Structures are given as C-alpha cells and as structure tokens.
C-alpha cells in the first residue's frame, strides 16, 4: 500500500490560499482569531499609510505565543499551515475557540498584496513584527518593531488593498456583515468591535452590534437534544417583512454563521422555512465545514443528525407560524372591517333614500330621523337612470326587495315605475300598498310606505300596485320580523366580519351565507392574494366584495346585468374615497 502525499507544497498552499474568495469572510476570520486569543476589544481601520490603502485589525488578546527564545513564534504559523495548534487543545481548552484549519491568515490574499503581523506577548520584553507577501513562498524573519505596543495583543496590517477589495470593504459593509456573521460569538465573548473608515466620504465610525431580530420569539422550540450527537439550539422569531424583503434563518457552528439562509440547503426547501415568516439562527457545534470556503457543510453523519433533529420540530414551528398568521389576519380583518364599516355608514348619506337595505348601517348624525312630511314624493332616479315625466308604464320595482326588521320598529319601502326603455316615470302614476294584517301596520305615502312592526316575529309580504289608466303593474318585497339581534347576523351593529374560507381551487371571490347571515370570503382567490400585501388595496378589495353582495341581494333578481353594474358603481364610488 502507498500513502498520498503533496507533490508540490507551494502549489497546494496557493490553492488553499485562493479558496478564500470572500474578503468580508477573510476579515471575519481575523476577528475570530482575536476572539480565540481572548481579546475583549478589536479595532478595524481602513485608511492610507504613506499613500497606500491598508486594512488593520488590532486586538488586545494574548498575542502570538512565544518560542524558546522568548520571541513570538511566527515561524510556527508559517510552517504549520493546515495544522492549527488549536486542534491540539483538549475539549475544555477548546471552549470558546473556533479556529481549526490553520489557514485563516492565508485569507489575506483576497485582501491585498502584503500582510504584516505585529505582536506583543506577555513574557516578551518587546514588540515584534513579521511579514508575508501574496503569492510568495518566502517570509521575513521576525524583527523587533520600531514602536512599542502599549498593551498585549496583535495587529494584522494588510497593505496595498486591491481596487475590488477596497470598494467592497467599506465600513458600512463590514459592520453589516460582522453583525450577522459573528453575531453569537460577539455576544458570548463580550467583544467590542469598532470600525474606523478613513477612506469613506460619508460616515466613518461604526460599532459592530450583534444583529437583533424584531419578530416574536418562538419560546417553546429552543433546543433539540440528539443522543450521542449533542444539541441543536434554535433562536427563531415569527415576523412579517415589508413587501419585497426576505427573512433568513441562518445556520451557525458554535456561534459563527456558515449558511446565511437555511434555504440554501435542499433538505429544508419547504414549510415552514420557505414561508418568509421566520428569522433567526440555528446553531449546531458538531457541523463539519469544508476548509476551502468555511461556508459549506460536510454532508456526513453529523449533518444527517442535524437534518433529522431540525425536521423533528418543524411541525411544532409550523403550528406556531400558522396560529400567528391567523391572529395577525384576524386583527387586520378587524381593522379593515372597522374602516369599511365607517365608509359604508358615511356613504349611506349619499345613496338614494330607502333603496338599499342589508346590514344595519344608519346615517350618521344626532337624534332620530325627522318624520317624512305628508307630501307627494316623486320617485327618485337611481344612478345613471334616465327619467321621463309621462310614458306608458312597463314594470315597477320595490326597494328594498328583502329586509329584516326588529319587532316594534319601522321600515321604509320605495316603489319606482319604469317605461319600456327602463326610464323612471316621474308623474301620472297612482300607488296602492298592501300588507297582511296581524304583524304590523303599513302606512302608505304615494310612492313610499312605512311598515310599523308589532310585537310578534314572523314573515310578511309588502306589495305595491302601480296604476296608469287601465294599466296595472305589481311588485312585492319580503320582510322578516325578529325578536332580537342575533350575534353575527345582518342585524348586528354595522357590517358583520367576513368569514374566510380556504378555497384554492374555487373561482368565487365572495358569497353571502343566508343561513348564518355572514359574508364568506375566499382567502385563496388570486385577487385576494394579489391585494393582501398592500393594506390600501386590500381594504378596497374587501369593500368591493361587500358592495357586490349588497347589490346582488337588493337587485340581483330585479334588474338586468347592466343595471346591476350601474348600482355597483353607485355604491363603490361613494365608499372608496372614504376608505
């Protein structure tokens, strides 16, 4: 048997160095080295030194460990690539330490041409520096630094930044990236990270703060224990992003983000992760990362246990999201309904008197409505209805066609005579009103009549006969007398709330449930889904549904399609400006 070996060490080192193609990630790894070294403060500066753009990452950690001569052991760093000393620590010593590959420093290749490391370590009598160059297999011997550091720690200075890197590594972008990439590591270590961008024209100073989530925390799903494989921690929030924004649930290893979104993994491209309702972090310390990018997960047994563990709580998470969705929708529906109720109540003032009846939407204003004076009232044309003073009568319509009234209350009805061209006849018509006795009294007044209900409930018919010479035309309306206002009925105060029905394969938008006296709305219709993200459009859509049912119930069987559409325009024209 033979053993694999490196044929060209420098070529292998070059390949490893070039696997880090993300300059932001390279800076994050330098900050992680500082955390591993016990630093409590890191300062990142983007500036010019002697006219050359440089990036400095400075910490107050332990510094580079000393060799037998009391000098920082830079040589070990250069000659032990892929053999991090951190790998030799036991489990207790590795607590809070992330590094494991021994290739982080090579990431400077993605930043600039040269890296200088300056270190002051406890036990050393002075500050030392050491230098490496991009795409060079050689490094300088450690030398005493010309300026003494005032505290222990390390400065990593990358000079002659490439134009692409210089534009990418702005203070603003670094701040945003580090707040998410190292969110948990910064929180747990208590590290203070300051960024000074002296190459920027705008804001030049930033304090990196761990990213905070604004949604509602899911507190009953925070930990998944996997026998013999450790624990998965979950910090998840339910949120509702603005239109066009996307929420992310990131995946981390010991506090360092390895996947910006869990949706980057095929195993989780389903609900609840793809609903754009969750944000947060899922952390599993036993994930193994691909050394090249440090952003890909090795699909080994640990990863499989991770997938199984997360999937075991998906149903619980989904229930929380769906319940929250329902609560939000109900709250939004109440707010929308309140707006629509007010719009209908205000619009009632402008709609023709007595021609509509549905829910108990009354005209606003103090005190009861004044009694109708005993004068002849000519019929009033409806919206876009032509009128004529004298013409042969063709038919008559009574409004409203259907009404529900409380016992001991009153209801007004109006009759309109039409000629063959569907024009309202304004004169020359005699009106006769009839209603069975026993439930109340009908008081006629030319083309209008008031029914005064008695104390008993029941159903009665209101009839009007219009005479013009020898011609006579008849129409009827139905009135239901009830004892009290049933909850959710059309006699409830204002409009009843809509009842949302899940009908993804149905074509209807809304329908009136006569038995329950509620408006059913298909919340899976494409028009409902299209308007839902925009509150103003959604309110108008629901208001149109109420207006449609109002017209259908009052005129659906008494007018042709064109006349019904005219009525719909009459109602929506008066409602929409009030929303």
Q: 224 vs 482, which has greater pLDDT?
A: 224
Q: What is the pLDDT of residue 353?
A: 63
User: What mean pLDDT do residues 382-395 have?
Assistant: 85
158 vs 326, higher pLDDT: 158
Does the structure show a pLDDT above 90 at 478?
Answer: no
Average pLDDT over residues 88-115: 65
Q: At what angle do helices 535-555 and 561-575 cross, to 10 degrees?
A: 140
E strands, 60-198, are: 112-120, 128-133, 143-144, 153-161, 192-197
CATH classification (class only), 9-207 = alpha beta
Percent of the chain topping pLDDT 90: 45
192, 42 in Cβ contact below 8 A? yes
Lowest model confidence (mean pLDDT) among 109-123, 178-192, 433-447, 517-531 = 517-531
Name the residue with higher pLDDT: 295 or 176: 176
Evaluate if residue 61 carries a pLDDT over 80.
Answer: yes
- pLDDT, average across residues 39-56: 93
Which residues of the chain are in CATH 2.60.40.10 domains? 387-482
Of 248 and 399, more confident: 248
Q: How far is CA 306 from the centre of its chain?
A: 27
pLDDT of residue 479: 86
Q: Which residues contact 417 (CB under 8 A, 6 or more apart)?
A: 379, 393, 395, 396, 424, 425, 429, 447, 466, 468, 473
pLDDT at residue 293 in the model: 56
What is the chain's alpha carbon radius of gyration, rounded to the nearest angstrom?
A: 39
Say if residue 430's pLDDT is above 50.
yes
Return the HEC string of 246-313: CCCEEEEECCEEEECCHHHCHHHCCCCHHHCCEEEEEECCCCCECCCCCCCECCCHHHHHHHHHHHCC
Where is pLDDT greater, at 525 or 84?
525
Digit-coded pLDDT (tens) for 323-356: 888 887 777 777 888 888 888 877 877 777 666 7
Q: Flag whether pLDDT at 96 surpasses 60.
A: no
Task: Name which residue leads in pLDDT, 91 or 363.
Answer: 91
Q: What is the pLDDT of residue 365?
A: 41
For residue 483, is the peptide bond before it cis, meaning its omega torsion is within 30 degrees of 0?
no
Question: In the structure, what pLDDT confidence band is assigned to residue 559 with cuts at 50, 70 and 90?
Answer: low
pLDDT for the residue 368: 43
Q: Which of 85-89, 281-285, 321-325, 501-505 has the lowest mean pLDDT?
A: 85-89
pLDDT of residue 488: 40
pLDDT of residue 191 exceeding 50:
yes
CB 211 within 8 A of CB 179: yes
Domain(s) of CATH 3.30.565.10: residues in the chain: 9-207
* Between 1 and 431, residue with greater pLDDT: 431
Cα(70)–Cα(77) distance, integer angstroms? 16
Q: Look over the chain and give the mean of its residue pLDDT values, rounded to a whole number.
A: 85
- CB-CB contact of 247 with 278 (8 Å): yes
Predicted confidence (pLDDT) at residue 467 exceeds the cutoff of 90: yes
Q: Could you give the percent of the chain with pLDDT greater than 70?
A: 88
Residue, of 501 and 152, whose pLDDT is higher = 152
What are 209's two structure tokens?
A: 């703060």
Q: Which residue has the higher pLDDT, 356 or 510?
A: 510
Q: Does domain 387-482 bear CATH number 3.40.718.10?
A: no
Q: What is the pLDDT of residue 400?
A: 83
Q: Could you tell me which residue, 100 or 218, shows the higher pLDDT?
A: 218
Nearest-angstrom CA–CA distance, 300 and 286: 11
* Per-residue pLDDT at 101: 45
Mean pLDDT, residues 254-269: 92
Predicted local distance difference test score (pLDDT) of residue 88: 47
Identify the band that residue 39 occupies on the pLDDT scale cut at 50, 70 and 90: very high
What are 236's strand-pairing partners?
280
Establish whether the linkage from the previous residue to 400 is cis, with ω within 30° of 0: yes
What is the mean pLDDT of the segment spanning 430-454?
92
Q: Whose CA is closest to 32, among 84, 91, 97? A: 97
pLDDT value, residue 94:
43
Stretch among 8-22, 79-93, 189-203, 285-299 having the lowest mean pLDDT: 79-93
- 249 falls in which pLDDT band (50, 70, 90)? very high
Burial of 461 (0-12, 13-18, 19+ CB in 10 A): exposed
8 A C-beta contact, residue 264 and residue 271:
no
pLDDT of res. 428 = 93
* Exposure string for 96-119, b = 16+ CB within 10 A, e = fewer: ebbbbbbbbbbbbbbbbbbbbbbb
Of the candidates 251, 259, 303, 293, the one whose C-alpha atom is nearest the C-alpha of residue 101 is 293
């Amino acid at each position: 048997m033979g053993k694999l070996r490196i044929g060209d060490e420098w070529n292998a080192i070059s390949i490893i160095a070039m696997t880090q193609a993300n300059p932001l990630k390279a800076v994050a790894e330098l900050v992680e080295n500082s955390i591993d070294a016990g630093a409590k403060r890191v300062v990142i500066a983007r500036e010019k030194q002697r006219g050359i753009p440089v990036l400095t990452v400075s910490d107050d950690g332990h510094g580079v460990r000393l060799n037998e001569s009391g000098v920082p052991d830079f040589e070990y760093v250069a000659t032990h690539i892929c053999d991090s000393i951190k790998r030799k620590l036991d489990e207790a010593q590795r607590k809070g330490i992330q590094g494991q590959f021994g290739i982080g420093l090579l990431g400077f290749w993605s930043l600039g041409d040269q890296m200088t490391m300056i270190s002051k370590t406890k036990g050393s009598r002075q500050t030392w520096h050491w230098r490496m160059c991009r795409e060079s297999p050689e490094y300088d011997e450690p030398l005493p630094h010309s300026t003494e550091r005032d505290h222990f720690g390390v400065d990593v200075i990358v000079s002659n930044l490439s134009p692409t890197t210089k534009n990418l590594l702005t203070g603003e972008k670094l701040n945003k990236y580090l707040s998410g990439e190292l969110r948990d590591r910064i929180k747990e270590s208590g590290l203070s990270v300051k960024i000074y961008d002296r190459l920027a024209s705008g804001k030049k100073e930033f304090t990196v703060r761990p990213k905070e989530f604004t949604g509602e925390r899911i507190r009953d799903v925070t930990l998944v224990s996997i026998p013999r494989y450790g624990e998965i921690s979950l910090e998840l929030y339910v949120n509702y992003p603005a239109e066009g924004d996307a929420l992310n649930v990131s995946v981390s290893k010991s506090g360092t983000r390895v996947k910006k979104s869990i949706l980057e993994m095929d195993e989780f491209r389903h609900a609840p992760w793809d609903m754009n309702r969750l944000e947060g972090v899922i952390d599993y310390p036993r994930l193994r990362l691909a050394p090249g990018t440090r952003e890909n997960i090795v699909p080994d047994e640990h990863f499989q246990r991770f997938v199984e563990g997360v999937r075991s709580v998906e149903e619980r998470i989904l229930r929380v999201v769906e319940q929250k969705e329902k609560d939000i929708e109900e709250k939004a529906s109440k707010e929308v309904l309140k707006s629509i109720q007010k719009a209908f109540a205000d619009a009632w003032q402008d709609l023709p008197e007595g021609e509509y009846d549905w829910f108990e939407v009354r005209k606003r204003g103090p005190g009861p409505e004044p009694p109708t004076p005993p004068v002849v009232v000519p019929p009033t044309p409806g919206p876009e209805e032509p009128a004529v003073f004298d013409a042969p009568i063709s038919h008559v319509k009574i409004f409203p066609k259907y009404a529900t009234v409380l016992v001991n209350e009153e209801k007004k009805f109006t009759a309109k005579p039409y000629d063959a061209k569907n024009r309202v006849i304004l004169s020359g018509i005699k009106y006769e009103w009839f209603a069975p006795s026993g439930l109340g009294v009908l008081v006629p007044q030319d083309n209008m009549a008031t029914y005064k209900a008695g104390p008993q409930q029941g159903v009665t018919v209101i009839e009007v006969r219009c005479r013009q010479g020898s011609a006579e035309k008849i129409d009827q309306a139905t009135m239901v007398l009830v004892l009290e206002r049933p909850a959710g009925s059309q006699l409830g105060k204002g409009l009843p709330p809509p009842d949302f029905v899940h009908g993804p394969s149905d074509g209807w938008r809304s329908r009136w449930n006569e038995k329950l006296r509620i408006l059913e709305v298909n919340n899976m219709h494409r028009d409902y889904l299209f308007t839902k993200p925009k509150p103003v459009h959604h309110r108008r859509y629901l208001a149109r549904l109420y207006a449609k049912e109002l017209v259908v119930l009052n005129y659906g069987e008494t007018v042709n399609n064109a006349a019904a559409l005219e009525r719909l325009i009459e109602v929506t024209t008066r409602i929409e400006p009030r929303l």
